[in-house]
Structure 1
Amino acid sequence: MRHAQLQQIAALDNSEDRGIVAYFSMEIAVEPTMPTYSGGLGVLAGDTLRAAADMGLPLAAITLAHRQGYFRQHLDASGIQTEESQPWDIEALLTPQSPTVTVKIEGRPVVIRAWRHDVIGVTGHTIPIYFLDTNVEQNDPRDRELTDHLYGGDGDYRLRQEVVLGIGGARMLEALEYRPVVYHMNEGHAALLTIALLEKQLFGSPLEAADEKTVESVRRRCVFTTHTPVPAGHDRFSAEQSNRILGVERTKVFERLGCFHDDLLNMTYIALRFARYVNGVAMQHGKVSREMFPDYKIDAITNGVHAATWTAPSFQSTFDRHMPRWRQDNLSLRYAIDIPEAEIEQAHQDAKSVLIAAVKERTGVELRPNIFTLGFARRAATYKRCDLLFTDPERLVKAAHDFGGLQILYSGKAHPADEPGKAKIRRVIELAQELDSADLTIVYLENYEWILGALLTGGVDLWLNTPKRPYEASGTSGMKAALNGVPSLSILDGWWIEGWIEGVTGWAIADHDDDAGEAGSLYDHLEQVILPLYYHQPEQWKRIMRSTIALNGSFFNTQRMIEQYVLNAYFPEQRMDHSAAALEPILAR
């Protein structure tokens, strides 16, 4: 079924005024001018809302204001990263809302207000995003800063933020007169919304009165998406922190309901306990999550990207000529297989020229348009292994020399507290300087963000991804590249297990138990397959670009993803319970 019908099916259970799906996410990438995201989780959230707006889904989103943003990255000549805040003009870019709500944090009342931003879809449908803000005059000075920094501060700061997001967000939607039929927790940061729903369900009775029936009434309305296969990536807090910040009564009910694990309050276990539907973000990640949490049923819905956002302007024009409704119906990108190869090549060369100009403007380095250009850009976490490509530098140098040139573009931020990640950046920049030659150019672009990410995925010739298995939950940068005809060379993890067709959409790095073995497979592919194709068989390379769009661009998008959420997570009963007769007027339209 296509999304127009899915919207109508959802509406069958959603006729009550202001009844919506409520989408909670700690970070959302809304606009390039608003630094309200750190990376993949926030970009996915923004893409999800853009697709939901395109499809007319009744949905509203809750996040935090992050007045100081995430951080702007600076790299010196040695690759040492420093950070500065990214304050932005919330008053100029968002619309203030009238209601305020109050939550208790460490026994103190904390007043929360909201600011609104509207996401408008291709058909004109609007999805509101509400940014919660504690910078309110009557609040304690330390509480006024709770919505300043994304992933800043210590554990106390994080738990206080999660109170604002979860409990404050649930109360704000009620104050705004929404009546959500589904609450979607995008990662465990939002798990405390469940305690707000539980308290409301008890109608003023103490939390200790909550029984399994009360819990089930909350579960029926909650959906949870987990994004990390790394145990340390799940937010955990001590009993002392929980008692002090949340209060003794809430802590006791969480203990009784099995939300503590290894003597720590675990946000993922709260979300698992209170959700009727749980999913990982790729087929493989679903398997890993079921192994991590064997007592819970966990499904999988593979991530996607918002096609119109991440398609380079040159490809947008090409798609408009051949598939004029591709923005409304991403599946029609399948028909890119009929676009003349010369037009695919020209669109790519136009995108590559824009990237080359941006690199020169940012760094002074002038890349050559006829030289094979490889891209690697993502968060500089150690498991991403940004330095795997340099395991055998001499082999890389030789390949560049033998084939007449190789250009490599890197970008990515390390979290301010991630010293091993910062060390990886320094190592790449050090090697880039050592290996620089007439045949090999390596550039590390600082301050990886939305605009730079779009330039890279639109303009390079090959997208490289080298995570340590099985730590890649999904990954989405390779999906963005695919929309622009850029094939991937990747470890078989995350989404690539589903998107990989050898020699058709890209290539898989063979699995080995050690880095050296996987680096060897990477080099083999470059030397024996990829560089020979690019330089000596350009017609075959164009066919690979075209099939990458048709096969992966048409599937790995948030439109398909939202359809799966509607059918499997939000309104599964409509798919199962409504007869063909009930759906006939919808399908006949």
Structure 2
Amino acid sequence: MSLSNALAKTSPDLTSRSIAYFSMEIALSPSVPTYSGGLGMLAGDTLRSAADTCRPMVAISLTHRRGYFRQILDAQGQQTEADVPWSPETTLPSANKVISLTMQGRQVLVRAWRFDVVGVTGHVIPVFLLDTDVEGNDEWDRRLTDHLYGGDTYYRLCQETVLGLGGVALLRALDCKPSVYHMNEGHAALLSIGLLEEHLAGNPLREAQEIDLEAVRRQCVFTTHTPVPAGHDQFGLDQMYQVLGHDRGAAIEHAGCLHNGLMNMTYIALRFSRYVNGVAMQHGKVSQLMFPDYKVHSITNGVHAGTWVSPHFQELLDAEISNWRTDNQYFRSVYGIDPARISACHFKGKQRLFDVLAKRTGHHFNPSVLTLGFARRVATYKRASLLLEDPARLVAIAEKIGGLQILYAGKAHPADGAGKSLIRDVYAAAARLNSSALKIHYLENYDWELGALLTQGVDVWVNTPRRPYEASGTSGMKAALNGVPSLSVLDGWWIEGCAENVTGWAIEDAETEAAEAANLYEKLEKHIAPMYANPAAWSRMQQHCIAINGSFFNTHRMLAQYVCNAYFPFPRLADAASPSVPVNEPAVQTLLNEPALA
């Protein structure tokens, strides 16, 4: 944070930024609560890799003055929420621009704060956080950028209008004219309407022809992140016209962006993008089935290694593999490091985790005991309780293998009653089952710092989504970077990352949850525990996790794929079904001629 502020006095040249990245949430710093979970973490990691590898990017998001929420859990696991207020005025420099946006039939003023993501080479990615808390705005409008995913659908549509239309207007006010606009999920889809208005140069949107829509498509890239229908924002036509006005609403209808009689942000993004992708190989296939009228590619997610590798591993890597921070393919070189040193680094991370938990919770955990981690947003399809499906068998396994520790964490959305019920279920199971052999503990307020401690310190990362609802998942990737194997359902990224008994284990598909749980227990008892009891074999697996999965499931590789396949595709890679896909040949040539660090 201090580095961001120190460098903020000299703003980077925005006229040279050719890629604009729009995301409703971005995890920029543990002290800036502008994110809720995986989507925001991915966005932040993307920008951190862009900074490390000197990409010509700029990013747009919202300020979220009151954050997402702090989770408070009582003795029974009942979740309540509290705001996480912060002050951009005392934290970040101003962008020194105020733009006016027409919405809800009135003018709304929008300003922005700048957060500089600084790479290891000193390259800066400026992130502009839009803020409607501006003197002169209607009091209700001033609260529009307060709560991430807060309020009702009308509030959400207003927020997404600020993000899309306001973001485009701010970039123009800053004399920034990117050639590529990347919509990270459908929340930002209205940027396409802003680009269409700009292209028509003041003429009514109703006069737009297919050639005008194509001009916008040439600039836009869209990443969809969820196969869950509820994850695709949609709004009634009355709200669309009330917030956006008749001209914009009619243009959205005319462009064929409605779905089932509703304004659908995903369909707006699909209609106005020349490149669309899912976030894992399997998710790309699932998305193609969901949207058969559009070509859907896949670029598998990653994580930013410099952020998620533990301090102890960073010291080891800095000493042994000097270029790993700018080129993550060098993680394969951990095969030249004694596996015992890798295991020793992980043990330090495990001890660090347990020391923090002892201070936070008063509970003490044994670093010599096999420890499982399960931490993610709490939603029913993620099945947090599958691990507890057969309590008697779980207890028996714990007693047989000399002890078992299970650490849970995760927030349920404030309006998700079913998710909150799952947390209470885990609490109740822990109260019944905790013994000298088995310890189950649910950790309060899963956030950036706790997520890092868990992925760096547990022995096995557990993931149990109901197929095919896991788009990608990234927490297991963070664990792999720290030598932690996964025990997971074959969905999302794990289809690509699972080498059985090498990087982890697959929970096999079955017709019932009981059968899947039985397979989980079988893997735990017959494969995981025996290997954990063999230090040499376990340390070798830790080495495989880093070398095989760490070298691929990172945002350096992911971003390079976006640059070559989506942002500035080579002619031979252009979609044959879309002959009008533009190729920015000067930009491609520049990238090809740049040194390895660029």
- Given the two structures, how large is their TM-score scaled by the length of structure 1? 0.95
Partner residue, 1:315: 313
- Aligned: 1:196 with 2:203: no
Q: Give the partner amino acid of 1:141.
A: E
Residue correspondence of structure 1 range 30-41 to structure 2 within 5 A: 30-41=28-39
Match of 1:210? Answer: 208
Cα distance in 2 for partners of 1:228, 1:582 equals 34
1:566 aligned onto 2:573: no
353, 356, 367: which one pairs with 2:354? 356
SS in 2 for 1:563: helix
CA-CA distance at 1:584 after TM superposition: 12
Alignment of 1:132-531 (within 5 A): 132-531=130-529
From the superposition, tell whether residues 584 and 361 of structure 1 become closer, same or farther in structure 2 (CA, over 3 Å): closer
Q: CA deviation at 1:17?
A: 3.7
Cα 1:372–1:89 change in 2 (3 A) is same
Letter in 2 for 1:560: R
Q: Report Cα offsets for 1:254-302 as digits up to 9, x if no partner.
A: 1111100000000000000000000000000000000000000010000
Deviation at 1:243, TM superposition (A): 1.0
Bigger mean CA offset, 492-501 vs 332-341: 332-341
Q: What whole-Å deviation, never above 9, does each CA across 1:32-70 have from its counterpart, x for those lacking one? A: 001110000000000000000001001000000000000
Q: Match for 1:271: what amino acid?
A: A
Q: Shift of residue 575 of structure 1?
A: 7.5
1:132-186 per-residue CA deviation (whole Å, 9 max, x = no partner) reads: 0000010000000000000000000000000100000000000011011100000
CA distance in 1, matches of 2:386, 2:591: 55
Greater mean alpha carbon deviation, residues 369-378 or residues 335-344: 335-344
Structure 1 residue 203: deviation in Å?
Answer: 1.0
Amino acid at match of 1:570: Y
Amino acid at match of 2:86: W
Q: Which amino acid aligns with 2:346?
A: H
Name the aligned partner's letter for residue 465 of structure 1: N
CA contact (8 A) 2:465 2:491 kept: yes
Q: Which runs of 5+ in 1 are unaligned?
A: 1-14
| Counterpart for residue 593 of structure 2 | 586
Q: Tell me, yes or no, if the aligned pair for 1:567 and 1:575 is still in contact at 8 Å.
A: no
Distance 2:52 2:571 in 1: 21
Q: State percent identity of aligned pairs.
A: 59
Asked if structure 2 preserves the Cα contact closer than 8 Å seen for 1:162 and 1:189, the reply is: yes
Task: State whether residues 18 and 177 of structure 1, in contact with CA within 8 Å, keep that contact through their aligned partners in structure 2.
Answer: no
Q: Determine the C-alpha separation between the residues in 2 that align with 1:279 and 1:299.
A: 4
- 1:5 matched residue in structure 2: none
CA pair 173-441 structure 1, distance change in 2 beyond 3 A: same
Match in the other structure for 1:103: 101
Structure-2 change in CA distance of 1:177 and 1:585 (3 Å): closer
**Alpha-carbon separation, structure 2, partners of 1:454 and 1:48:** 17
Q: Distance in 2 between matches of 1:155 and 1:177?
A: 33
Post-superposition shift, 1:325?
A: 1.1
Aligned residue among 552, 557, 570 for 1:555: 552
Q: Work out whether residues 14 and 174 of structure 2, in 8 Å CA contact, stay in contact via their aligned partners in 1.
A: no
Give yes or no for contact 2:132–2:142 (8 Å, CA) kept in 1: yes
Q: Which amino acid in 2 is paired with 1:287?
A: K
SS at match of 1:98: strand
Q: Is the 8 A contact 2:235 2:264 kept in 1?
A: yes
CA contact 2:15–2:175 (8 Å) conserved in 1? no
Q: Distance in 2 between matches of 1:341 and 1:101?
A: 56
Alpha-carbon distance, 1:251 to partner: 1.2
Q: 1:553 to 1:588 in 2, by over 3 A?
A: closer
CA shift digits 1:301-346 (9 cap, x unpaired): 0000000100000111111121011101110001112210110111
Report the CA distance between 1:585 and its aligned residue.
8.5
- Matched with 1:539 is 536
Question: Matches of 1:582 and 1:200 in 2, distance apart?
Answer: 28
Contact 1:315 1:347 survives alignment (8 Å): yes
Root-mean-square deviation (CA, aligned residues, Å) is 1.6
* Secondary structure, counterpart of 2:96 in structure 1: coil
1:115 Cα deviation (Å)? 0.4
Contact 1:100-1:114 at 8 Å conserved across structures:
yes
Aligned length: 573
Matches within 5 A, 1:37-116: 37-116=35-114
Q: Which runs of 4+ in 1 moved over 4 A?
A: 574-579, 581-585
How far apart are 1:517 and its partner, in Å? 1.1
Structure 2 residues not aligned, in runs of 5+: 1-12, 574-582
> Aligned equivalents of 1:70 and 1:54: distance in 2?
28
Aligned residue in 1 for 2:120: 122
| Post-superposition offset of 1:102 | 1.1
* Distance across 2 between alignment mates of 1:219 and 1:341: 50
Whole-Å separation in 2 of the counterparts to 1:90 and 1:588: 36
Q: Deviations over 1:346-389 (max 9, x none)?
A: 10110001000011111100001100000000000110000000
How far does the alpha carbon of each residue in 1:428-459 deviate from its partner, in whole angstroms, 9 at most, with x for none?
01101110100001110000000000000000
The amino acid that maps onto 2:554 is N
> What is the SS of the residue equivalent to 2:36?
coil
| Amino acid in the other structure paired with 1:400 | A
Give the TM-score of the pair, scaled to structure 2.
0.94
The one-letter amino acid paired with 2:535 is P
Deviation at 1:92? 1.9
**For 1:66 and 1:588, how far apart are their aligned partners in 2?**
38
Amino acid at match of 1:315: F
Secondary structure of residue in 2 paired with 1:150: coil
8 Å CA contact retained: 2:17, 2:58: no
Cα distance in 1, alignment partners of residues 487 and 250 from structure 2: 49
Partner secondary structure for residue 417 of structure 1: coil
Q: Deviations over 1:190-234 (max 9, x none)?
A: 000010110111111111110000000000000000000011210
Answer with 488-497 or 240-249: which moved more: 240-249
